[in-house]
Structure 1
Amino acid sequence: MEIELEVKRAQKGEKQSFAKLIRHYQVHLYRIAYAILKNDSDCADAIQETILNAYQSIHQLKQPNYFKTWLIRILINQCNKMLHQNKKMIPFEKLQEPSYAPKEYKEVELKELVNHLDPNHRLVITLYYFEDLSLEQIANLLNLPEGTIKSRLYKARSILSEWLSVSKERVMRCE
């Protein structure tokens, strides 16, 4: 699919082109929303609002080749808005979670571990490794200096490395 061509068509009002774009990026949207919100229901709400906002304002997008980052920016803003609105509510499940790191596991999947990182580290890891965005793109999306993104990536990698080494030790003790 030629993304820029579909974006231009969508900007001219072709609903099918916009739908193709959303279908093309739906997995990306979910992965990013889940990295921030960690709740399927909230992810669905955030994605729905993102799609509506993007559809209503697609004519404002000046450079079609930036559609993906533009869409992700709308999603991140929507997720942050939802987090801010839900800040006062603590889900029952969270009351039972003593820490971000999983307690017992024998086989570790990296994506599972990433979901246990704090939100800032989880988002940067997701955007960099799973969405293949550059450090510069992530910095622009999050309105942060590139150095901050680098340090968050470094910290997240360190945490993941530590968890993986702890996991390996536990597996060796169980064998």
Structure 2
Amino acid sequence: MKILVNECYAAIRKSSRIDLKEDMEVLNLRYEDSTEGYLISFINSMDEDFRVILTLFYYEDMTIKDIGQVLNISQGTVKSRLSRAKAKLKTILENQ
């Protein structure tokens, strides 16, 4: 039974992989001169862990549980990274 569960998790992770870099490049081109474009450029300047979490949560509309499964991290880790990423983004935006 444990093998079956692990195989299911592996299949979910494999099928859920996305090319975030390509998606972010498309978004950068699309919103280059808009407010959202500035927001995306700020997100791109963040650490990869924070950038990935923000992208999956806000742009891909994934749940915290799904993000945890895709990245193979706990839901608590997803929540803390999301919170830290939002705090960093807020600081960046306040300083602009």
* Shorter-chain TM-score range: 0.5 to 0.7
Unpaired stretches in structure 1, ≥5 consecutive residues: 1-61, 80-106, 168-175
Shift of 1:153: 0.4
**Quick one: which of 34, 40, 58 aligns to 1:111?**
40
Aligned residue in 2 for 1:143: 72
TM normalised by structure 2 equals 0.65
Shift of 1:161: 0.2
Find the residue that maps to 1:109 and give its secondary structure. helix
Aligned residue in 1 for 2:15: 71
- CA–CA distance in structure 2, aligned partners of residues 125 and 72 of structure 1: 16
Q: For residues 28-49 of structure 1, what are the alpha-carbon distances to aligned partners after superposition, in whole Å with 9 as ceiling and x for unaligned?
A: xxxxxxxxxxxxxxxxxxxxxx
- CA–CA distance in structure 2, aligned partners of residues 113 and 72 of structure 1: 25
Shift of 1:70: 4.5
- CA–CA distance in structure 1, aligned partners of residues 39 and 60 of structure 2: 15
Aligned residues: 72
Unpaired stretches in structure 2, ≥5 consecutive residues: 1-7, 22-34
TM normalised by structure 1 equals 0.37
Aligned residue in 1 for 2:25: none
- CA–CA distance in structure 1, aligned partners of residues 72 and 14 of structure 2: 13
Q: For residues 40-71 of structure 1, what are the alpha-carbon distances to aligned partners after superposition, in whole Å with 9 as ceiling and x for unaligned?
A: xxxxxxxxxxxxxxxxxxxxxx8xxx98x743
Q: Which amino acid aligns with 2:16?
A: I
Aligned residue in 2 for 1:120: 49
* Higher Rg of the two aligned structures: 1
Aligned: 1:155 with 2:81 = no
Q: Which amino acid aligns with 1:159?
A: K
Q: For residues 114-146 of structure 1, what are the alpha-carbon distances to aligned partners after superposition, in whole Å with 9 as ceiling and x for unaligned?
A: 101100000000000000000000000011000
